[in-house]
A and B are shown apart, each in its own frame.
Chain A
Amino acid sequence: MSFAEAAEQHLDDVYGYLAWFTGDRGVAEELTAETFERALRLWHRFDPKRGSVRTWLCQLARTVALDHFRSERRRVRREQLAAATERFDERFADSLSPDLERALRGLSAGEREVVALRVLLDLDAGSAARVLGISPTNCTTRLNRALRKLEEALHVAA
């Protein structure tokens, strides 16, 4: 598979993952472009024996997002501004109900990313665990915890 084919095939996955992980579509667009720039530089290192292209791209996207979170935290600390004030697009997906949107917003970034990987991208536990750098059991536990929180939030909203 060429890089162009991989980029075309998995762009939505990477963007979706980053949009849910960061909770901000504008930021997700920037990070997606950065992920693919990095992927192009590192394409020669991709080894299909060690996992799928999608898993590899998600791993890169996660690194890019963590770098962003770190720099954002430093910037916010420096400027004493809330990062939330800069968000301009709050929706995760058009088909979700407002209650579920709010419930998703209430999750931590770490919980949202596991939901994005396991539910939105439909990765199996092993692949998602590889992206997150944790064990499959731990990954499943995180997913269950996140789903339980969503369920509770929706129950309160109802």
Chain B
Amino acid sequence: MSQRDVLAELRTAQVEAPAQLRARVRLIAAQAPSGTHVTHGSVFRAEAQPAPKAAASAPAPPNGRVVRYGASLRLRVAGVSDAVKRALHVTSALGGYPVSVHVATAPHAGTAQLVLRVPRAHVQEAISRLSALGTIVGEQVDLQDLQAALNATDRTIARLQRQIALLRAQPQTPAVERQIAALTARVAALQRAEAATRRAAHYATVRLALVSGTPAKHTHYVRDALPWLGGFAVAVLLLLAWRLARRLREDALLRNP
């Protein structure tokens, strides 16, 4: 049999998905929202450009769904230290807490980076009050729906629990017991992950960058860029090495029949 004959016979092969799988996939597809404006499992991203003086407006998180909410604000302020104090006060007043605060001051300029966690219910008020601390230089809001992922996890847990129930109905051999233990451990892990996701989504993360004074004039562009270029080159090399390692691992994995 020549290669051409092999190819011809292979081309006759038709693999059709079984009916129960088709029904299962239709059920999965039925969860997709209709229309083009997808709110289910989508990421909204909005970036405002410099200098609106009005308070930043954040889109409201959808009610009833679990979402991950993140916002970044860049503000020019009169005094960094004072603005940091006020930002921390606003955060604690709304039931939030600072994750990290980094302040650097110099005689004529200062910068601060704050990462704040604010209860999701108060995030719009927080952004509005924080943006009043100075002039908005930039703003970004990220909103990611986690509900679809949680629903999928719920379905997986239900499927695993059905499998466990079936296995429990069988005669309990050591192999069956091992399978039950493995499935039970997987269910527990999924439940833990789900709880962690819900906990994390309860708070929104607000990144606040504050800067005061006028930016210094850059005259040594090439010299300033060198560390960045070096870093970029190292990052590219690391990426290439990582991809090569991944390829080698995959090849090793797929070498066996």
Interface residues of A (CB under 8 A from B): 2-4, 7-8, 11-12, 15-16, 19-20, 23, 25, 29, 32-33, 36-37, 40-44, 66, 69-70, 73, 75, 79, 92-97, 100, 105-110, 113, 115, 119-120, 122, 133-134, 147-148, 150-151, 154-155, 158
Q: Which of A12, A100, A158 contacts B15 (CB 8 A)?
A: A12
The proximity string for B residues 3-17 relative to A, scoring 1 for CB distances below 8 Å and 0 otherwise, is 100110111111111
Q: How far is the CA of A5 from the CA of B42 in the complex (A)?
A: 19
Q: Which residues of B contact A158 (CB under 8 A)?
A: 1
What are 29 A-B pairs at a CB distance below 8 A? Answer: A2-B32, A7-B28, A12-B17, A15-B17, A15-B21, A20-B15, A29-B17, A29-B21, A33-B21, A37-B28, A41-B149, A41-B152, A43-B32, A43-B38, A66-B250, A66-B253, A93-B14, A93-B15, A95-B13, A95-B14, A97-B9, A109-B255, A109-B257, A110-B251, A110-B255, A115-B10, A120-B10, A120-B13, A134-B247
B23 → chain A, closest Cβ, in Å?
A: 10
Residue of A nearest to B38 (CB): A44
Cβ contact within 8 Å between A151 and B24: no
4 nearest A-B residue pairs (beta carbon): A110-B254, A16-B15, A93-B13, A3-B32
Nearest opposing residue in chain B for A96, CB measure = B13
- In the bound complex, how far is the Cα of B13 from the Cα of A122, in angstroms? 11
Q: How near does chain A come to B147, taking the closest CB pair, in angstroms?
A: 10
- A-B pairs with CB below 8 Å: how many? 137
B 22-59 contacts with A by CB, 8 A: 22, 24-26, 28-32, 34, 38, 41-43
| Complex Cα–Cα for A110 and B25 (A) | 26
B2 touches A32 (CB 8 A): no
15 new A-B contacts, CB < 8 A, other than A4-B32, A15-B16, A93-B14, are: A7-B25, A8-B26, A11-B22, A37-B155, A40-B32, A43-B41, A69-B254, A73-B253, A95-B13, A95-B14, A96-B10, A96-B13, A106-B257, A134-B247, A155-B1
Nearest CB of B to A147, in Å: 5
Interface of B is mostly: helix
CA A43 to CA B31, docked complex, whole Å: 12
**Are B21 and A32 neighbours in the complex by a CB distance under 8 Å?**
yes
Given contact pairs A151-B3, A151-B6, A108 touches B29 in the complex (Cβ within 8 A): no
User: Hey, which chain A residues are within 8 Å of B14, CB to CB?
Assistant: 93-95
Within 8 Å CB of A110, what residues of B? 250-251, 254-255
Main secondary structure on chain A at its contact with chain B? helix
Residues of chain B whose beta carbon lies under 8 Å from any beta carbon of chain A:
1-3, 6-7, 9-18, 20-22, 24-26, 28-32, 34, 38, 41-43, 148-149, 152, 155, 178, 182, 247, 250-251, 253-257
Please, which residues of chain B bring their CB within 8 A of the CB of A154?
A: 1, 6
Contact A79 B2 (CB under 8 A): no
A15 to B20, CA, bound (A): 12
Report B-chain residues with C-beta under 8 Å of the C-beta of A15.
Answer: 15-17, 21
Please, which residues of chain A bring their CB within 8 A of the CB of B17? 11-12, 15-16, 29, 32
Contact of A147 among B7, B25, B251, B257 (CB under 8 A): B7
- Residues on A with C-beta less than 8 A from B20 are 29
A36 to B29, CA, bound (A): 8
